[in-house]
Amino acid sequence: MIEPIYLDNASTTPLDPEVFDAMKPYFSTHFGNPSSIHSFGQFTKNALEDSREKIAHLLNAKPSEIFFSSGGTESNNMAVKGFFFSNPKDSLTVLTSKLEHKAVLEPLAWLSNKFSVQVNYISHDETGKIITTGIEDFSKGERLLVSIMLVNNELGNINPIELISEKVKKLGGYFHTDAVQAIGKVPFSLKGSSISLATVTAHKFYGPKGIGALFIREGTPIDSLLHGGSHERNRRAGTESAALAVGFAKALEISIRDFEKNDRQIRHVSALFLDSLSASLKDSGITFSLNGNENEKIAHVLNLSFHLPTKKRLASDVFLLAMDAVGVAISSGSACTSGTEKPSHVLLALGKTEDEARLSARISFSKFTTERDVLFASEKIPEALKRISK
């Protein structure tokens, strides 16, 4: 029996064995609470702070600007909610995109429903390319937060955050980027940038689940969401995990160290997959189109819409389940919203109908993806599509 093929790396990546080895001692021998003053606690406290320093160095930030969290969702919530609650008596204008992750969109919707927060949406074209004109129309000096992700998690689009953040800085506003899908896939440095807040999480670049970080540039107003301890310099109460922090730092180190090698390999398997898929679908009557901005995207993520010879209405996730049945794991978009009634909000925002979105898939690669994996998957997609079209 052939092992199932995993092509859902934008949801999570496998843990790098080198990362696991670095973490092991902190699950057994070095288990102390970093807040304890005895030697057990101080050993793990040192490991925690060493990891913070390493992460800060690799991102070109200061250690005092790195705050650990449970992952991307918490960091995004901390960025947008924490910014508002730093001065809740003042109204807040937020500019974001309808293509953002729900971990940004839903906290903003909650804030706008309950408080004096006005949420506006930046324009995009049919490929998801952000249109930056119009940012200058905001009043200079008003309380402004702009949140645009660096790499779109469903399309793979690379957004022009340097241009946007510079415009925001000139207005006296603050800029947040969800950089979760960017680390290890595009060069990323906080030094000299106009980014005020940045979200990262370890499990997207072969690190452990359960840990992320929020970069908070010095001088950026943020209030804590969690209270009950002085952890993370009073910004995030809760016992830190030295094991996860060590794994986070090691995974980041490896991702940056091996960036060029991994990028070459993933570009190769991505191109091979598209060529093989085209060949597999030849004469089947089934075609596909690429969603997203073809000229400004990462190779790690392909978002494809398939077109059957006859119109077919599908229930939620039928295509994904059909692919799983033939041994290939893919997704329709963010894992945080899979299994819901509605298909991808990103594809709907691009103008896709619900039926078109349900015949779309996000296929994402990792440094562990092989030629065999993509050749097998490209052969199985027609099989799954024919099954659901009957």
Catalytic residues: 336
C-alpha angle 25-184-178 in degrees, rounded to nearest 5: 100
Provide DSSP, 216-260: E-TT-----S--SS-HHHHTS-S---HHHHHHHHHHHHHHHHTHH
Query: Is 347 in contact with 357 (CB distance < 8 Å)?
Result: yes
Of 272, 366, 326, the C-alpha closest to 14 is: 366
Return the residue matching tokens 């997207």: 204
Beta-carbon neighbour count of residue 385 at 10 Å?
Answer: 22
- Euclidean distance between CA atoms 21 and 32, whole angstroms: 19
Q: Which residues pair with 176 in a beta bridge?
A: 147, 197
- Euclidean distance between CA atoms 143 and 159, whole angstroms: 23
Query: Is 313 in contact with 328 (CB distance < 8 Å)?
Result: no
The CA-atom distances, in angstroms, between 87 and each of 81, 117, 143, 220, 224 are: 11, 12, 10, 12, 12
- Euclidean distance between CA atoms 138 and 356, whole angstroms: 36
Q: CA gyration radius for the chain?
A: 22
Of 266, 254, 291, 323, the C-alpha closest to 6 is: 323
